[in-house]
Amino acid sequence: MSDTTDTGPVLAADGTPLKRSLNRALRRQKLRALGLIAPLLIFVLVTFIAPIADMLFRSVENQIVSNTLPGTVQQLESWDSTSGEAPGEAVYEALYYDMFLASEAKEHTRLGTRLNYEETGVSSLFRSSGRSVDDIGEDYIDALEDLNEVWEDESFWYTLMSGGEDAAKNRGLLEEERDRLASLTSDNFGGNIGFVPGQEISDLLPNTARAYTSFALFTVVADEDVVAEEEPWEAVKIALVQDLKRGVDLSGYSGFGADELRAAQDMLAEQPDIAFKEAFLEMDEDWAATDNWRTIQVYSPPFTTGYFLNAIDMQKGVDGPEARPENQQIYIMLFKRTLFMSLVITGSCILLAYPVAYLLSNLPMRTANLLMILVLLPFWTSLLVRTSAWKVMLQQQGVINDTLVWLGLVDDAGRLIMINNQFGTIVAMTHILLPFMILPMYSVMSTIPPSYVRAARSLGATNWTSFWRVYFPQSVPGIGAGSILVFILAIGYYITPEIVGGTTGTFISNRIAYHISSSLNWGLAAALGSILLAAVLILYWAYDKIVGIDNVKLG
């Protein structure tokens, strides 16, 4: 050792230090190995890890509100939810434009469903409002069209808004609306639509230009029509009314349609303002409810902690998170129950599996094989069949109760209730998960040399001492491996508790399944799933600290 330090680093044949050249060779080897498993690794990443990550990401994702009602959300920022009053006219006007576009794209009901998870009644509020939002301000549109027929003319509108072929164009506005529609519908709104808003007209009538641009994009991309051949939406005309009523100075404008615009402005000057708030309240008085507005405001950021709060029986209150009303608290209790019952199931699996595994590893080969088949046979049988079999066994008119009554141990009226409760779940799941405990135990026990126990005996140990002091410690890694397997399987179990669990024997996974497939509240399901995953990881970590994961052997 000291020799090498005296003579400097050892060199490889090509003169580079041996250490470096070895490292390089090692790295190359590792890369080659990685290259070999790369297809598998990519496959697992793409088809397994990525979807799970995507699903779990839904527990915080909440872009639907700001994508569907961008203007409303912006206007609502300054509203004080504690004031007890509904927001002002500006919010309702923004809501009109947002709601109009959303209902054309049929996205408003999706948002209604989303917000209904937080506030009962929003679903039908959005559904009914989407249906009648185009009636708002129809008197103004009629007045406009009575004044001059050009306001019903699609090509007049087209020329007005595009400002003619040679006019300077406002491409920025077009791109803005493209992005907005793309995020609203999650479709691609790219490509040439045969329309770009004119610069002059969009400076003069900003709201109208915006509304017409989204109309144009929608007409071309979603409906596959030609802009110049379609009459604009009511919302475009309402935007024009609003722009003109705000006192736009048209005196400097000499482009296309200047006279028509001036005449319209003169006519509208005599009319009262459009009452958006009143119109919405007329449509549905729930638009006055501050609770609904508060919900929209609270859930307007693109990310939310709402789902996680819900998953731990809390909710977003006026002053931050608060506990849910007692008659809605359920998840914490279910998490506790899931953990407790999984532990009980793991415990009963250990108790039942240990003697079986011991027999398996100590019996002569021929008998052991037979026993092994008996262990594996139920393992190969369908899960549903085994669960249903337990139903037949345990129910009140079932095999066990019938036998007990026949033996006279119970009378007919006092049949035992052994299913549709915790007991049923524990029995059925212990049976179903037993092989996962027996197999790792067996593979560990079969490597324990019988000579150790014999040696202990010959040195005077009793049967018990030789087992407890010599055999048992060597079998602990098997118990550890089996316990981890059974516990992790049990904690996420779903179908057996669903069938035999009744109301007191169901797990958190049953609620997750409910939210995935029935209530469609995927955000809440993802939050519950994330918490479950975190709990398992923490328990695994704790197990590693206490027992040491190196002590776990699968064979």
Binding site for other proteins (CB under 8 A): 106-107, 109-110, 112-113, 116-117, 120-124, 127, 327-330, 333-334, 395-398, 420, 498, 502-504, 506, 511, 516-521
| Smallest separation, CB 185 to other proteins (Å) | 9
Task: Output 63 or 504, the one with its CB closest to other proteins.
Answer: 504
Task: Output 333 or 373, the one with its CB closest to other proteins.
Answer: 333
The answer to whether the beta carbons of residues 219 and 225 sit under 8 Å apart is yes
The alpha helices in 45-121, defined as continuous H runs, are 50-57, 63-68, 70-76, 89-104, 108-116
The alpha helices in 133-271, defined as continuous H runs, are 138-147, 154-162, 171-185, 199-204, 206-217, 234-245, 258-269
Task: Output 45 or 168, the one with its CB closest to other proteins.
Answer: 45
| Smallest separation, CB 315 to other proteins (Å) | 11
Q: How far apart are CA 231 and CA 371, in angstroms?
A: 80
| Smallest separation, CB 291 to other proteins (Å) | 12
Task: Output 29 or 504, the one with its CB closest to other proteins.
Answer: 504
Q: Whose structure tokens read 């006026």?
A: 318
Joined tokens for residue 95: 């809501």
| Smallest separation, CB 519 to other proteins (Å) | 6
Instruction: Provide the sign of the torsion angle of the four alpha carbons 117, 121, 122, 128, taken in this order.
Output: positive
Joined tokens for residue 112: 């209604």
| Smallest separation, CB 137 to other proteins (Å) | 24
Where do the DSSP E strands lie in 267-311?
Answer: none
Task: Output 124 or 362, the one with its CB closest to other proteins.
Answer: 124
Q: How far apart are CA 197 and CA 210, in angstroms?
A: 9
Task: Output 192 or 503, the one with its CB closest to other proteins.
Answer: 503
Task: Output 447 or 517, the one with its CB closest to other proteins.
Answer: 517
| Smallest separation, CB 259 to other proteins (Å) | 41
Q: How far apart are CA 312 and CA 329, in angstroms?
A: 8
| Smallest separation, CB 336 to other proteins (Å) | 11
Which of 93, 96, 70 is closest to 184 using CA atoms? Answer: 70
Calculate the alpha carbon distances from 207 to 143, 203, 204, 227, 242 in Å: 19, 9, 9, 18, 8
| Smallest separation, CB 257 to other proteins (Å) | 36
Task: Output 122 or 238, the one with its CB closest to other proteins.
Answer: 122
